[in-house]
Amino acid sequence: MFTLKDDHKNHLLFLEKQPVQVVQDFCKLAIDYLNKGPNQKIYATAAQKLDVEAEIIQASIEGLINLLLECIKHKLTIDDLKKLLLNLGFDEEKESVISQLYISKQNDISKALENTGFKLPQYHNMEWRFEVQVASRLVPSQIIPTMTLDFELKNTDSTDKIEHVTLQTDAPNLLHLCQVIENAIKEGKSQHVLTNITNTMNLLTIVNLNSVTIDDVIYKTIGPPHAESLQMHFTNQTVIDKVPAEMMHLIDKHWYQYPPMDPMWHKLLGLVMIVIGILGWTGNGIVVYIFLMTASLRTPSNLLVVNLAFSDFIMMVAMSPPMIINCYYETWVLGPLACDIYACVGSLCGCASIWTMVAIARDRYNVIVKGMAGKPLTIKLALFEILLIWSFAGVWTILPLLGWNRYVPEGNMTSCGTDFLNQEWSSKSYIVVYSCFVYFTPLFLIIYSYWFIVSTVAAHERGMREQAKKMNVASLRSGEQDSVSAEAKLAKVAITTITLWFLAWTPYLVINYSGIFDLIKLSPLFTIWGSLFAKTNACYNPIVYAISHPKFRAALNEKAPCLVCGTVDQPAKTCGASETQSTTEKA
């Protein structure tokens, strides 16, 4: 720790009285001050907004800079800085903002400290003293010999000021210290180190003779990808370095330990998102258009399919462009409000899509399993279910905005979602309860429905084969040898539905649970790909639920033949075939 002067405390006292947003703006101005120097125009504008003199604004910024420089100078840890800020009167939110600035901008602050001419103290001299504490002449085992070492450190730019560092240790630890120092000296004289020193001197000579920077030499020597990785390693950059100042209060400290992702990954993520967006827009848009423009498809059951396509369409329209933009800038650049909107749309449409899939499975279960005993789905009932689904999804979407959890940037900072790194149970409980209602319950209902659907159709097919055997005929259906049985078709749809469900949502669930329960170490790359896989569900939903629909394929063949893959099944003409065709169509 160190002691602040009274005038320094007075400068910081002005910041302590300001709201969190003003403190964030002052942090940004402080970094600009370090990089570019003071900007009197900005200070005058800020003074007008805060109704104070411009000198107070500049003094507060310089006080904040001085605080950061002193922290670097005395090598304060983040915990020490937090204690210091709390002692100065800053509340937890303002302390968090300044602490995050200290963590993320240590490199810039260190460079500024070097420019001020501050030099680290170097070894000057050492005095030592051997001390023995005797408990009793009769109890020699309690004799404790200790060595007290007084190191004298002196700055190279000051011949008068000497800093004393005292170290007291016992014989075993002193021997260990000596051994470590001797090993370091031997390592310093090794051929490996001498070779590195020679290469470094040659590199510096090339730089001086050709008037180029070290970065240019490194880029030309080992290539851009390796050079960028090496530069990140030595400059202590992190994945949040490019995050705007107004977003810093949303960034969890977990992400500060990771270096920036390779730009190649940002380009790849943006490219994948472009492909997903195009497929989602066109696929779901065509499904909605075909169902609404074809009279024979406007049935109560198909309203659920249209709602599913509409939900996925809105998700892709609202989420693809922001992520593509952020991948271009390699961080979230759209601000906190856009982050909330982005995450809200993802939660709303994702929840609506999942429960619409449950409603479709329930409708198929009602028609195939219950048959005539089931209550038929009407237009009004279908619209009521859709309204109920969106209302249910809306409630879960709004809750984080009201304080139960929150929406924050995640992964490589190009996407936003729920805060699964907050270890407070008030925040963790939202993800646990949300997953129960929006993952486990829908998954159980879908598996339950399709289990009985496949079992019912399998029993029906078995009964028809037994009846045909009794009647001494090959089949009660015409053309069975040339077509796939309804049982096989239905099993394929069920397996495809559940498999794609798992592929889309399970990785993101694992990420959320790993965060709240600290199961595995989440990297930015793993996290962002999990988020991206969840969005792919909007691409293949049209294929599973609509394009596999026989009548939809026929309507698509009439309006856009170029989009039809394979042959279009001809409608069945016999009564038996008509019955099975109707059953399969519902599936």
* Inter-helix orientation angle 54-73/6-16, to 10°: 110
232 or 251, greater pLDDT? 251
Which residues fall within 8 angstroms of residue 580, CB to CB, at 6 or more apart?
477, 486, 572
Predicted pLDDT at 134: 55
CA–CA distance, 149 with 234 (Å, rounded to integer): 33
Predicted pLDDT at 330: 92
Spatial contact of 517 and 258, defined as CB atoms under 8 Å apart: no
In degrees, to the nearest 5, what angle opens at C-alpha 94 toward C-alphas 88 and 99? 85
Is the pLDDT assigned to residue 222 strictly greater than 70?
A: no
- Percentage with pLDDT > 90 across the chain: 25
Predicted pLDDT at 310: 93
Predicted pLDDT at 578: 35
**pLDDT (tens digit per residue) in 139-190:** 444 556 777 877 777 765 555 677 777 877 777 777 777 777 777 777 766 6
Predicted pLDDT at 224: 53
Q: How many CB atoms lie within 10 A of CB 313?
A: 22
Predicted pLDDT at 577: 35
Which residues fall within 8 angstroms of residue 232, CB to CB, at 6 or more apart?
259, 260
Is the pLDDT assigned to residue 221 strictly greater than 90?
A: no
Predicted pLDDT at 584: 36
Q: How many CB atoms lie within 10 A of CB 312?
A: 30
Q: Point out the least confidently predicted range of 275-279, 438-442, 472-476.
A: 472-476
Question: Pick from 379, 376, 380: which is nearest to 363 by CA?
Answer: 376
* CA 420 distance to own-chain centroid: 9
Question: Pick from 216, 251, 245, 296: which is nearest to 406 by CA?
Answer: 251
* Token digits of residue 356: 């619409």
455 or 201, greater pLDDT? 455
CA–CA distance, 394 with 439 (Å, rounded to integer): 16
CA–CA distance, 12 with 81 (Å, rounded to integer): 14
* Token digits of residue 32: 């600009």
Fold classification of 253-586 is Rhopdopsin 7-helix transmembrane proteins (1.20.1070)
In degrees, to the nearest 5, what angle opens at C-alpha 348 toward C-alphas 493 and 426? 115
Using H for helix, E for strand and C for coil, what is the string for 377-434?
CCHHHHHHHHHHHHHHHHHHHHHHHHCCCCEEEECCCCEEEECCCCCCHHHHHHHHHH
Domain boundaries, the chain: 6-115, 122-235, 253-586
Dihedral, CA atoms, 441, 443, 447, 450, nearest 10 degrees? 100
**pLDDT (tens digit per residue) in 524-577:** 999 999 999 888 888 887 777 666 677 777 887 887 777 666 565 554 443 333
CA–CA distance, 553 with 546 (Å, rounded to integer): 8
CA–CA distance, 476 with 466 (Å, rounded to integer): 10
CA–CA distance, 125 with 434 (Å, rounded to integer): 64
Predicted pLDDT at 136: 52
Predicted pLDDT at 554: 81
Predicted pLDDT at 480: 45
Is the pLDDT assigned to residue 116 strictly greater than 60?
A: no
**pLDDT (tens digit per residue) in 431-463:** 999 999 999 999 999 889 888 888 888 888 788
User: Is residue 399 very low, low, confident or very high in pLDDT (cuts 50, 70, 90)?
Assistant: very high
Average pLDDT, the chain: 78
